[in-house]
Amino acid sequence: MNGSCDHAIIRSNLNNIQMVVGLKCAYQLAVAQFGSALEWGSRGRRFNSCQPDQRTCIHMDTGFFQLYNRSRCMKVVVFNTYRCRKKVLAVILISLMIIVYIHYHALRSYVIMFPYSYYHSQQSLLKKNDYLIRTPSHNGFITDSWYPGMLVFHDEYGFEKWVDEPVELTVLYRFGGFKFGSDYSTYYDHTSDRFSSFYGAYIVDNKIDTDTTYGFNEEQEVVISEIMSIPEYDQRWLVMPSIGLSPDHVIFEVEIVDVVNDLNYASESGLKWSKVDAHIITNSPQHLYQNHQRGYLQYGVPKTPPDGLNDYYPISLAGRIYVTKNDTDNTLIALYILAVDFETVDEIDNQILSNTTISKQ
């Protein structure tokens, strides 16, 4: 009798322990019986008893056990989600690495030039004189796009030495952009409409108090030689040396085609403009790669010249520059285009440059 009670207590405790972990184990042991075998025949013989002699475990789906099971499922879901996130992050990282590899030179240019341009904009005449010049971008109206942003360069002393006058110069410029996967900008590509091309603005201001404005005489007429000295300085001392050509070897020959005064250009400015068109012979940017040229950071790896042509061979370009002056601070403002021909100049002028807005902040 006592043995059966002890057995019952042990059985009860065992069941309680198993219920705590979410399982109810039923000992369904039965007395073995003689098998109800048929005669020898097609179904063979049944040797084992039909009664169970194994312990079966049944999951509990209510109350505490349901919460426990759900918590286990939650752990599985969280673990699987974590694994999925790792896979997604791995795919994203690999994709980014591929994009960086394909667009390395373009991305390098953006990463370097945008902060560099911002630094110069804070030192520029735009900042000093509170000018706001906005020239819209218009990618896609010709085959190739422009560089994705107007860049700024401020020259405090170089232009002053070049013209031997106490003035400083700020240059706003854009050039041909990078094609998909290309290691060079279309500035180097002689098959592109952006070959050796720029557009943007110049600002020239006096460093001393004076009633005169650079580029204009006492009768407030445009002095062509002074006006054309600005793009020449830009090409001779800034652009070409940055890609390895000495200023002494830079060609810049100008043939004036047309001059028109008293134009209502960039109408929102409220200023009168003079327009100068010119044929310009200068150097091609194409050349064999040279080490450590700072312009490579901006334009990418140079293209080699076509067969039979030397590095920096002479090319003919079309140039247009609009010039005005602000009488309040005697500042010269110029909007310019340098392109492969006048047809392209007209397109850039009509679609981009003529929509420039100039204002005081």
Domain boundaries, the chain: 104-360
pLDDT score recorded for residue 23:
41
What local confidence, expressed as pLDDT, does residue 262 receive?
92
pLDDT value for 97:
64
Average pLDDT for runs of 10 along the chain of length 361: 49 47 44 49 47 48 52 60 74 66 81 96 95 76 73 97 96 94 94 96 94 92 97 98 97 98 84 95 97 93 96 98 90 97 96 91 73
pLDDT computed for residue 138 by the predictor: 58
Q: Report CA-CA distances (Å) from 350 to 66, 321, 341, 344.
A: 74, 14, 15, 10
Per-residue model confidence (pLDDT) at position 361: 73
Please give the pLDDT value at position 297.
95
Nearest CA to 203 out of 336, 103, 295, 93 is that of 336
Across the chain, how many H-helices and E-strands are there?
A: 9, 11
Which has the closest alpha carbon to 69: 100, 128, 24, 28?
24
Model pLDDT, residue 41: 47
Report whether 360 contacts 130 (CB < 8 A): yes
Give me the residues paired with residue 260 across strands.
275
- Contact between 22 and 59 under an 8 Å Cβ cutoff? The reply is yes
- What pTM does this model have? 0.73
Query: Which residue's structure tokens are 């309680």?
Result: 16
pLDDT of residue 275: 97
Could you tell me which of 104, 194, 103, 106 has the C-alpha nearest to residue 148?
Answer: 106
- For residue 300, list its beta bridge partners: 184
